[in-house]
Amino acid sequence: MTIELTGRIAREKIKLLELPHTDPTILAEFEALGDATSAVSDALDSLGIPGAISASKLRCIMPNRRMVGTALTLKNVAREEDPFLLAQANDSRMAEIECHNLAKPGDVLVIQGVAGASNMGSVGGRMGKRQGEVGAIVDGAVRDVPDFIAIGYPIWSTEITPITGKWRVESVEINGMVNICGIEVHPGDLVVADGAGVCFIPRSHILEVLAFAKRKVQYEIDKCAEVDGGKRIVDLAKS
C-alpha cells in the first residue's frame, strides 16, 4: 500500500513507515488482565528492564481509563526563536499530523515532547481517533482536554496547558527512539497504561512479560480471595 506523506517533516526523518505490530491475540490477553501496569512493572523488574512510569509523572486526562497498543513515536524539541515573531510569520514546524497519517488501528502515539507548550491539540486527537489510535503518551504538555474527553481519546501527559506549540515546538523525528520520563521507547514497543501509570515493554520481551503478568494477576486474585475468606495473616505469610 502506498503511503501519501504530507511533507511536514523531511522523509529522511521518518525512520519507519510501517511499524512492527504485536499479534492481536496477545494484545487481547494483555487487555484481559485489566489494570495491569503493576503486574507488568513487576515483570519488567524481574527481567531487569526499566520501563514503568508512575501516574505522578504521567497522568491520564480521563479517570478509570486503560490502554494497550503499539508505540508510534515522535520526537519534538523546543524552538529557540521568538514565538511571537513566528506566530506573525505563521511559521509552524510541528509534524504530528504525519504520525496520524502513518497510524494504524491499535497504535499509541508516544511523544517525547516539550514542556510549557502543547505538543498535541484537539484537531490531532480527532485525526488519531479517526485512524484508530487508542490514545497517546506525551512527555510534555497537551491542550484542548475537554475535546479529547468528548471523543474518548485518552492521553497520559506530564502537563496540561492552553499555550500552543505551533511557534514553540519543532518535530525532528518520527519512529525513532524516544525518551519518555527517562525510559527509552522504540517504535513497535508495547504500551500498557492505566490509572497507576504507564509501562513500555520492548518487543523482544512481550511474551515473557505477558506470562509473568498473568501469573502475578492470578496470584493477587487468589490471595485477595483468601483474605476475604478469613485466612489468617500468619498463614498468608507462609504461602
Predicted pLDDT of residue 227? 86
Report the 10 Å Cβ neighbour count for 76.
Answer: 27
The alpha carbons of the chain give a radius of gyration, in whole angstroms, of 19
Predicted pLDDT of residue 236? 55
Cα–Cα dist 173/14, whole Å: 6
Predicted pLDDT of residue 171? 98
Strands 190-194 and 67-78, how do they pair?
A: antiparallel
Cα–Cα dist 47/20, whole Å: 22
Cα–Cα dist 62/155, whole Å: 8
Could you tell me how many residues make up the chain?
239
Q: Position 132: which residue type?
A: G
Cα–Cα dist 188/163, whole Å: 30
pLDDT per residue as tens, the chain (239 positions): 567 788 899 999 999 999 999 999 999 999 999 999 999 999 999 999 999 999 999 999 999 999 999 999 999 999 999 999 999 999 999 999 999 999 999 999 999 999 999 999 999 999 999 999 999 999 999 999 999 999 999 999 999 999 999 999 999 999 999 999 999 999 999 999 999 999 999 999 999 999 999 999 988 888 888 888 887 766 655 54
Predicted pLDDT of residue 237? 54
Are 125 and 106 within 8 A, CB to CB?
Answer: no
Q: C-alpha angle 181/157/199, rounded to 5°?
A: 55
CATH 3.50.30.40 fits 11-211, yes or no: yes
